[in-house]
Amino acid sequence: MQSIVEFKNIFKSYPGVIANDDVSFNIKEQSIHAILGENGAGKSTLVKILYGHVKPDSGEILINSDLAIINSPSTAKNLGINMVFQHFSLFESLTVAENLILGMNENISLTKLKDKSKTICDKYGFNLNLNSPISSLSVGQRQSLEIVRSLLNNPKILIMDEPTSVLTPDEISKLFKIIKNLVKDGLTVIFISHKLEEIINLSDYVTIMRNGKVVSTISTQNEDPETLGYKMLGYKVSKAKQVSDINFSQEIFNIKNLSTQSKDPFTVNLNKIDLNLKKGQIFGIAGVAGNGQKELMEILLNENDYEFSGDIFFKDLNINNLSTFQRKSLSISYVTEERLGHSAVPEMSLSENIFLSMNHKSEFKKGDFINFEKINSFASDVIKNFKVDTPSYNVKAGKLSGGNLQKFIIGREIMSNPELLILSQPTWGIDAGSEAFIKKTIVELSQKGVSIIIISHDLDELLEVCHEIAVLYEGSLSKPLNVENINITKLGKYMGGLFD
Amino acid sequence: MQLREDYSNLIFYLSPLVAVALTLFFGSFIFLILDLSPIESFKIFFISPISNSYGISELFVKATPLAIIALGLSYCFKNNIYNIGAEGQLTMGAIFGGGIGLLFNDSTSVFLLPLMILFGAIGGAFWASIPAILKTKFNTNEILTSLMLTYVALFILDYFVVGPWKDPEGYGLPKSMPFPDAGRLPVLFDGLRVHIGVYFATIICFITYIVYNKTLFGFKLKVSGLSSKASQYAGFKYNNLIFYTFIISGACAGLAGLFEVSGPIGLLYRDISPNYGFTAIIVAFLGRLNPIGIILSSLLIALTYLGAEDAQLFLKIPSAVGFVFQGLVLFFLLGTDFLNKYKVSIE
């Protein structure tokens, strides 16, 4: 097999960092080539260069042995390079077919496009109804749509940036089957991931990057997750292991008979949810996305006075009607699923983002005035204690990589000394190093007596850190299972809604 | 069209200068088309109006209301609330404050003027509270409601000056009696019209600077303007912010209206404002919603008012040329902002 893409001595620096430092390697035609690395290792920058999104400072890219000057994504598309981004860009109120036609460069009628898409869907087994509105689609279906959209351009090379981070195990195996079939039909897939197991299962070759440099490009045949992890990090990953032989006694947080009756067709109604959380306990809420996680988090945060029946108690105090501000003042902290634009403002500095969540604390205020000195020193502490990779607290939050920002946000919430910490998708879309660090931190925090609720689609993560796991399915919450002697078959059944 | 990753803050603050330069450049074509020498015309337009003390005083007379209104509007705009009705709030401030002056038209008390000023601010705030309530209670579009209320306010003023408040000795003209001397705004220098409103503008600028940079309220405005979800996460009540920012900008506009009628004008009549309330929108954005920037841009835009008057006199071109320049500045400012944010590639 000959090389379809050759990177030759690619350099790209941003102020203060070298994102790509003399990157050279080849990608073979009709192969699945993974790019593996920690956050800030330069993977995203490299594929953005290939996709024409970022201009390299120097270096060349050869496509089919010809020098290619890729100035923009449209040049990339003309060369047969397409990309599926980690964050989808879809119009919520339009239908699947309408979204597909918006991505087309050529003029094509809607009927023709539908025929073409139908063929692709049938051939590779994408489960997509072309006439449904986007808002009714699950995350997995949205991703399928993004892939189909790329395939309509007849690409030779498809770049996928962390495609599995939003999918359930079942969806992941479906996706892998599709990718393998696509490659059989002549496509070359470049796959960015930090999930070691996946890379070994799926890809033929892997290029490992660290600090902007290529460590090596190897065949995945003789690798296992441990050796690959070692190569990626330069050190061994230690798993966060929960000690679970503790007797929890003191109740901290209770949900009793929580239900919602929303008429909005795009929300899931919660159905008689009961939950008991004890001091120092980590409680995981598992389940496939779109089974009521969003609605449950809304009620726990209470940003919009979401209507519900039932009761929520924090330390025997009914907090049903307390605002977000009042709940935070009671020492409940939140980390939301969306980092940018929800738990952090990208255009504001890290210091300002500290105050965003801490404005209820009197130590940062003198009357109506803000005490920036205190905030800055607090921000420095968060950066230091939680190993956030950034030159200063004046850096804008949007400039940080996903993993770094998440460490910063979780660090901020932990340092506010919460008694209850509620996290939604805490390691979604971040690199392995940050993920391991965050898991370890969560476990340590519980050992100090903080109670934690984690809402996550990542079952492995929950099994690793939680004491108890319950499954959310179509708005109902299963009985909690003790993780120590968990029955995986039973958990699987719960995930499919088989519980009463 | 793509979002730039290296969006520059420096350029954000420099772009008003670029916009002004482009306005001058394209403005010179207007003069060329009219068969006038651009350099001579610009001299008449921008230099000669401020070449004597009277001219400089007039510059401040025009810049004062613009600055006060624009400073008030910046609270709304920072919060992503588009109050377009400052002209109406200005009018209401003139009616409330001026009404006090007419009510006590034989007063010589030193308290008359402060009372008029207070009522001017209350009048503007009251008028601004209507779109605020409509927005928070019924989720109406504040751009439409605040704009439409401007015309309502103008008709109310019309009603008063042709009806109950018409000067009985005014030969039937649609104007009120002059305010008593105690209700007139003191001038800074004898013989010139520049008045103590300049001090108010300076103080409001200073307070605004402190509020934006040092206080919780300023922080709330910034967060809500950037991301409403983050603002909810922080526990800020958006509806309260909408209300407060409308009240502040309305009070400022009302204050400016009262200053106009109790300062240079001295009575109430139909055309108390040459669109100060609308022009202040340009001033606020040209000044980058930054209090010091707003002071600078208010002076520049005030100059276009003066220049237009002189141009009409000496160049025999309509004074509407002043509005053309204001429009050009806004157009180029929006253009430079857009190009700073986005990269344009032609495919």
Indicate whether B345 belongs to any domain.
Answer: no
Q: Highest-confidence range of A122-131, A272-281, A453-462, A484-493, by mean pLDDT?
A: A272-281
State how far the alpha carbon of B285 is from the alpha carbons of A173, B19, B28, B294, B334, in Å. Answer: 53, 12, 24, 8, 9
Residue A1, pLDDT score: 67
Identify which has the larger pLDDT, A352 or A41. A352
| Arithmetic mean of pLDDT, A265-285 | 90
How far off is chain A from B234, nearest CA to CA, in Å?
5
pLDDT over threshold 70, residue A208: yes
Q: The CATH number of the domain where B234 resides is what?
A: 1.10.3470
| Arithmetic mean of pLDDT, A108-124 | 86
Say how far apart CA A292 and CA A120 lie, in whole Å: 31
pLDDT over threshold 90, residue A215: no
Q: Do A338 and B217 touch (CB under 8 A)?
A: no
Share of chain A above pLDDT 90, in %: 40
Structure token pair of residue B344 = 């344009």
Indicate whether B325 belongs to any domain.
Answer: no
Q: Which residues in chain A are contacts of B227 at CB distance < 8 A?
A: 341-342, 345
Which residues, in sequence order, are bridge partners of residue A58? A11
Domain at A251-495: CATH architecture:
3-Layer(aba) Sandwich (3.40)
User: How many domains does chain B fold into?
Assistant: 1
Residue A40, pLDDT score: 67
Residue B39, pLDDT score: 87
A357 and chain B: CB distance < 8 Å anywhere?
Answer: yes
Residue A236, pLDDT score: 54
Indicate whether B22 belongs to any domain.
Answer: no
Indicate whether B320 belongs to any domain.
Answer: no
The tokens 């009018």 sit on which residue? B91
Residue B146, pLDDT score: 96
Low-confidence residues in chain B, pLDDT < 50:
none
| Arithmetic mean of pLDDT, A188-212 | 87
pLDDT over threshold 60, residue A57: yes
Say how far apart CA B300 and CA B281 lie, in whole Å: 14
pLDDT over threshold 70, residue A382: yes
pLDDT over threshold 90, residue A33: yes
Residue A170, pLDDT score: 75
Three-class DSSP category at A392: coil
Question: Domain containing B197: what range?
Answer: 59-314
pLDDT over threshold 90, residue A376: yes
Nearest CB to B230: which of A342, A368, A370?
Answer: A342
How far off is chain B from A29, nearest CA to CA, in Å?
29
Residue A240, pLDDT score: 61
A94 and chain B: CB distance < 8 Å anywhere?
Answer: no
Select from A78, A333, A337, A348 the residue whose CB has the most chain B CBs within 10 Å, as the one to mutate to test that interface: A348
Q: What is the pLDDT of residues A240-264, one digit of tens each?
A: 666 655 667 788 999 999 999 988 7
Length of chain A: 500
Residue A415, pLDDT score: 93
Residue A244, pLDDT score: 56
Say how far apart CA A360 and CA B107 lie, in whole Å: 50
Q: Would you say the C-alpha torsion A354, A359, A360, A362 has a positive or negative sign?
A: positive
Buried b (16+ CB within 10 A) or exposed e, A196-220: bebbbebbbbbbbbbebebbebeeb
| Arithmetic mean of pLDDT, A229-250 | 65
The tokens 């050529």 sit on which residue? A106
Residue B346, pLDDT score: 65
- What is the domain partition of chain A in residue ranges? 3-233, 251-495
| Arithmetic mean of pLDDT, A40-63 | 88
pLDDT over threshold 60, residue A313: yes
Q: Would you say the C-alpha torsion A418, A421, A425, A426 has a positive or negative sign?
A: positive
Say how far apart CA A110 and CA A132 lie, in whole Å: 15
Identify which has the larger pLDDT, B229 or A489. B229
B235 and chain A: CB distance < 8 Å anywhere?
Answer: yes
Residue A445, pLDDT score: 92
Element counts in chain B: helices (H) and strands (E) = 13, 2
Indicate whether B346 belongs to any domain.
Answer: no
* Domain A3-233: CATH superfamily, name plus number: P-loop containing nucleotide triphosphate hydrolases (3.40.50.300)
How do A81-84 and A157-161 pair as beta strands?
parallel
User: What ipTM is given for this predicted complex?
Assistant: 0.82
Structure token pair of residue A404 = 């770094």
